[in-house]
Chain A
């Protein structure tokens, strides 16, 4: 049985606003399935006494003081934006497919 269904891949694509064709869905479903199976192998070697880990380094409490640092200028901030209006980032319609 596959670890991820084609429907689940289609759902993920929709959440990511990716328009995948039927062929692409098949293609990625197969690939993702292989990836999930590979990652699942880790669980086979993890013993009961090994807690799940989310970080490579055994560090906690890395904080910065609440101090203001120089920000970018609006010109710098917007310099890479595909579209700008009124000193703001202009983005395509957000709820396009639901409107």
Chain B
């Protein structure tokens, strides 16, 4: 088997990719899917377990009503049909990540099916068909010990924490997505991004990829150009950031392209994505569906959602993110490009909240996409994770509008807030950052500057008004940025007896 890679462009010259995406979303319910254990992330090991999620003899599962409701709402937001009647199924497999030795899932009767999601890529709308949305339970977390890599291969043994076992998990599966061509990596990323925002707007999950509450498996296959027969696909797991979704697709296209061009065969298998190298390595060979020996879960009765209830849930869906973006773009008067930039930076909700807190949209956008985006970039944090709130930004814009701060001072205030020095008002007080509004004080500073810059003052007197810039600069410097530059300019010209 070849280990060389083909360039992305070369692979795409010869082959067409077909994508498939399976996304798992951990629901944000208070309790687990089939028992009353908490679902908190990061709790000490095995503190959120009970006889049911540990599969102790005699325990029985009972489905969480909220999880059923959330799954139906997700299905509705993805334009799915909702099953009138469906069942849970047992998926039997031999891994210790489920103490039952099976996972309760859904098989041929998903709760939601046949939907779609439209995503925008490069100014075009791409419709992603949704095959199914089903409900299952998450597995426990295994740590593999004794191996060099911390991976399951080569490990001597494993240790398992079942806190996560039984947390409601929604799986959203697309139909195969042909026709994305060179855009395949971007389409995959745009889809997961949009899905994440829908989950957020529904309030069903905190969708933190870094904590695993949103996880994506990426299926890729290649077929020779001109062929209509799809190739063998691989399923890449462990794709835990939006950027990784894009990289994993690209990497698999390059790897499979090289194998196929060499006359090799693609093995249907699970592959693991590695953040550090951006490449995938082989995992276990995928078990066939029949090897899971699915059968209807005898411990749970069927689900038959009342159509009237489903209609109510549908009517109560929030405005979906794509609709909301269009509305805000019109309200804020932004170009597609500006809006896309804000979307990519995850800034839309923050700007919206800042506007809601009283700031003009242009100012809110200026700060979030400028100073704060730069800061987030430097520190490698998401905008929303910065220690500053939309209310803080709104207050700063208010102080600027009232003339209490200029832009330079406002930046200092933001820096103070980001450094944990308190609210904008507290930072203004502590750092003494108010514009010098006292005419007497400003006048005294101007007198000093005029005395120290007699040449420039003479030039202005003789009609070279452009030279006033240097004097204003001197005033700003002497006041350490606290003077109102426009006011200083007026006063300087007055003192020099020049009118414009």
**Residue B159 CB within 8 A of the other chain:** yes
The number of residues on chain A lying at the interface, defined by a beta carbon within 8 Å of a beta carbon of chain B, is 38
Q: Which chain B residues border A86 with CB–CB below 8 Å?
A: 45, 159
Q: Does A46 contact B (CB under 8 A)?
A: no
Residue of B nearest to A75 (CB): B46
Q: Shortest distance in angstroms between A72's beta carbon and chain B's nearest beta carbon?
A: 6
Residues in B289-324 with C-beta less than 8 Å from chain A: 291, 293, 295-296, 298, 300-305
Select which of B29, B35, B54, B143 is within 8 A of A77 by beta carbon: B54
Whether B298 and A99, one on each chain, are in contact in the complex, defined by CB atoms closer than 8 angstroms, is: no
| A69 touching B95 in the complex, CB below 8 Å, given contacts A62-B63, A94-B152 | no
A19 within 8 A of B: no
Please count how many residues in chain B sit with their CB below 8 Å of the partner chain's CB atoms.
59
Q: Are A64 and B298 in contact (CB under 8 A)?
A: no
B49 touches A72 (CB 8 A): yes
What is the 8 Å Cβ interface bit string for chain A, positions 67-99, against chain B (1 contact, 0 not)? 111111110011010000111111111110011
A59 at the interface (CB under 8 A from B): yes
Judging by beta carbons under 8 Å apart, are A64 and B65 in contact?
A: yes
Question: Which residues of A are found within 8 Å of B375, using beta-carbon distances?
Answer: none
Interface segment among B36-44, B257-265, B398-406: the answer is B36-44
**Is B30's CB under 8 angstroms from A87's CB?**
no
Q: Is the CB of A17 within 8 A of B48?
A: no
- Set of chain A residues within 8 Å of B438, measured between Cβ atoms: none
Which residues of B from 76 to 113 have beta carbons under 8 Å from A? 85, 87, 92-96
Within the complex, what minimum Cβ distance (angstroms) separates A74 from chain B? 5
Complexed CA–CA distance, A77 and B140 (Å): 14
Shortest Cβ gap from A91 to chain B (Å): 4
Say whether B46 contacts A87, CB under 8 Å.
Answer: yes
Taking a contact as CB atoms closer than 8 A, the residue among B30, B49, B94, B291 that contacts A66 in the complex is: B30
Whether B153 contacts A63 by the Cβ 8 Å rule is: no
Cβ–Cβ contact B67 & A66, under 8 A: yes
What distance in Å separates the Cβ of A78 from its nearest Cβ neighbour in chain B? 6
Which B residues contact A (CB, under 8 angstroms)? 29-31, 35-38, 44-51, 54, 56, 62-68, 85, 87, 92-96, 142-145, 152-162, 284, 287, 291, 293, 295-296, 298, 300-305
Report, nearest first, the 8 A-B pairs whose CB atoms are least far apart: A69-B36, A66-B66, A54-B296, A63-B65, A88-B159, A60-B304, A87-B45, A91-B96
Of the A-B pairs whose beta carbons lie under 8 Å apart in the complex, a sample of 28, sorted by A's number, is A54-B87, A54-B298, A61-B301, A62-B62, A62-B63, A64-B62, A64-B65, A65-B65, A66-B30, A66-B66, A66-B67, A67-B36, A69-B50, A71-B36, A71-B38, A72-B49, A73-B47, A74-B45, A78-B46, A87-B46, A88-B143, A88-B160, A88-B161, A89-B160, A90-B159, A91-B142, A94-B96, A95-B153
